[in-house]
Amino acid sequence: MSKTRVAVIPGDGIGPEITQATIDILEATGFEAEWIYLDAGLSAIEKGKSSMPQETVEAIREIKVALKGPTTTPSGGGHTSANVALRKALDLFANVRPAKTLPGVQGPFADKHLDLIIVRENTEDLYAGIEYKPHPDVAQSIKVITRQGSSRLFDYTFKMAREQGRKRVTVVHKANIMKLSDGLFLEEFYKAAAKNTDIKADDIIVDNCCMQLVTKPEQFDVLVTENLYGDIISDLCAGLVGGLGLAPGANIGYDCAVFEAVHGSAPDIAGKGVANPTAMLLSAVMMLRHLGRHEQADRITNSVLRVCSDGNCLTVDLGGHASTEEYAREVVSISRGQGAVA
Ligand code: NAI
Ligand code: MG
C-alpha cells in the first residue's frame, strides 16, 4: 500500500524542533507517511523567496494535507504573514481551535473540566490585508465581512458541532457597534441556526465574552467568531487550559486542510530544545482524525494524557524539566505500552 503523503512546513524558531518531535512520535506509533518538506516564513525569506512561496502553496494544494510549524512574521516592513497568505490562497476558511483541560496540568481552571472549541473565520475581517495610507498621517485597514464567507463558516460549525456531539454554538461579535459588518455576520449566524435547530444557538458580545471566559468558562461549548476576535480569544482560551504549549488547531477548507498549533515561533526559547511539542502533536492528532486514523489518534491522545497526569516528564512551560526530546520519547514509550498500532 502506498504511504499517505503529507506536506510539512517545519517553520521558524521552535518550529523545526517541535515538528521533528511530532514526526518522530507519529512514525514511532505507526503512521507511515511520505513527508514532503516545504519552505515558508522567515526561512523562505532568507532564501530569497516570499514568506509563502507559490511552490509551497501549489504543493499543499496537490497533496491536500499539511502539518505546519509556526512561522515568524516580522512586524511592520514589507513581509506579509505566511499564515494569512496560505489561508487565503487555499481558502482555508475555518480555523478550529479546541481548548481542553488536561489532567495534571496546572492552570487557572485545573479543577474544572473545560472542553471548548473555538471556530475562527480565517480569510476575511481585518485580516483581509487591505491597508493603505490616504495621507502620510492616516492609516486605514478595511474590515471585510461577506454573506458567503459567513454562511459557509456557520454551516461548517454546526456540522462539526453535531459530529462531535456538541450541544451549543455561541457566536461572538460586536454588532452593537459595527452594525453593518458584525450585523451581517450575526444575521447569517441565525439563518444557519434556523437550519440546525437540534443545536442550541445564541450570541454574546466579544468584550463580555472575554470577561465570562476568564470567570466562568465552563458555561461555553462551541464559540464561533470573526478572524480578529478568534485570534485573540483562542490565545486567551489556551491560557485557561495551561498555556500555548498545549493548544492545537486545524485550518479547514473544502479541498485542503493545514494542521498547526495556535502558538507562534517562540523566538525566546528557540534552539534550546525545551519547547513543548504537545500543541503541534495534538494538531497532528487532529490530522490523523481527518485522515480517518482514529485508533492511532486515540492512542497518542491517551499517551499525552498519561504523560501529563504522571507529571514526571513535563516540559518547562508546564513546570517540569524535560526537554522536547525527552517528552517525545516518553509519549512514544507510553504509547508502545498500549500495544502495537494496527
Ligand atoms: P508565541 O506564541 O510564539 O510565544 C508567546 C509565548 O509563549 C512565549 O513566551 C513563548 O516562549 C511561549 N510559547 C509558545 N509556544 C510554546 C511552546 N510550544 N512551548 C513552550 N512555550 C511556548 O507568540 P509571539 O512571541 O507573539 O510570536 C512570535 C512569532 O510567531 C511572531 O513572528 C508571530 O508573528 C509568529 N506567530 C506565528 C503563528 C503561526 O505561524 N501560526 C501564530 C502566532 C504567532
Ligand atoms: Mg494568534
Per residue in 177-204, pLDDT (tens digit) is 999 999 999 999 999 999 999 999 999 9
Chosen domain end from 192, 212, 243:
243
Q: Is the pLDDT of residue 2 over 80?
A: no
- The residues, any chain, with a CB within 8 Å of residue 273's CB and separated by 6 or more, are 17, 323, 324, 325
Average pLDDT of the chain? 94
Mutate to test the pocket of ligand 1, among 9, 244, 326 (most ligand atoms within 8 A of CB): 244
- Reported as a single tens digit per residue, the pLDDT across 257-266 is 999 999 999 9
Assess whether 174 and 257 both reside in one domain.
no
Q: Is the pLDDT of residue 233 over 60?
A: yes
For residues 170 and 204, is the Cβ–Cβ distance under 8 A? Answer: yes
Q: Is the pLDDT of residue 254 over 90?
A: yes
Assess whether 134 and 234 both reside in one domain.
yes
Assess whether 137 and 268 both reside in one domain.
no
Q: Is the pLDDT of residue 92 over 70?
A: yes
Q: Is the pLDDT of residue 227 over 90?
A: yes
Q: What is the pLDDT of residue 143?
A: 97
d(CA 138, CA 2): 56
- For the CA of 276, the nearest atom of ligand 1: 19
Does a structural domain hold residue 262? yes
Does a structural domain hold residue 248? no
Assess whether 83 and 142 both reside in one domain.
no
Assess whether 225 and 342 both reside in one domain.
no
- Split at pLDDT 50, 70, 90, the class of 342 is very low
Quick one: what percent of the chain has pLDDT higher than 90? 86
CA dihedral 195, 167, 221, 91 (to 10 degrees): -40
The ligand minimizing its distance to the Cα of 236 is: 2
Q: What is the pLDDT of residue 77?
A: 67
- Reported as a single tens digit per residue, the pLDDT across 41-58 is 999 999 999 999 999 999
Assess whether 192 and 121 both reside in one domain.
yes
Q: Is the pLDDT of residue 329 over 50?
A: yes
Does a structural domain hold residue 336? yes
For residues 124 and 146, is the Cβ–Cβ distance under 8 A? Answer: yes
d(CA 18, CA 10): 8
- For the CA of 82, the nearest atom of ligand 1: 40
Ligand 1 contact, 266 CB (< 6 A): yes
Best CA proximity match to 230, nearest among 312, 70, 117, 62: 117
Assess whether 305 and 266 both reside in one domain.
yes
Does a structural domain hold residue 167? yes
Assess whether 80 and 216 both reside in one domain.
no
Total domains in the fold of the chain: 2
Does a structural domain hold residue 305? yes
- Work out the average pLDDT over 259-279: 96
- Work out the average pLDDT over 138-158: 97
More confident residue, 62 or 75: 62
Assess whether 231 and 258 both reside in one domain.
no
d(CA 244, CA 260): 12
Chosen domain end from 243, 263, 293:
243
Does a structural domain hold residue 168? yes
Assess whether 231 and 106 both reside in one domain.
yes
Assess whether 164 and 88 both reside in one domain.
no
Helix, strand, coil distribution of the chain in percent, nearest 5: 45, 20, 40
pTM over 0.85? The answer is: yes
Is 127 part of the annotated catalytic residue set? yes
CATH assignment of the domain containing 38: 3.40.718.10
- For the CA of 81, the nearest atom of ligand 1: 34
Does a structural domain hold residue 301? yes
Chosen domain end from 217, 243, 269:
243
Distance 324 CA to ligand 2 centre (A): 22
Does a structural domain hold residue 223? yes
- Split at pLDDT 50, 70, 90, the class of 34 is very high
Is 156 part of the annotated catalytic residue set? no
Best CA proximity match to 62, nearest among 23, 1, 7: 7
Domain containing 217 equals 99-243
Assess whether 34 and 148 both reside in one domain.
no
- Split at pLDDT 50, 70, 90, the class of 105 is confident
The ligand minimizing its distance to the Cα of 267 is: 1
Q: What is the pLDDT of residue 73?
A: 86
- Work out the average pLDDT over 310-318: 93
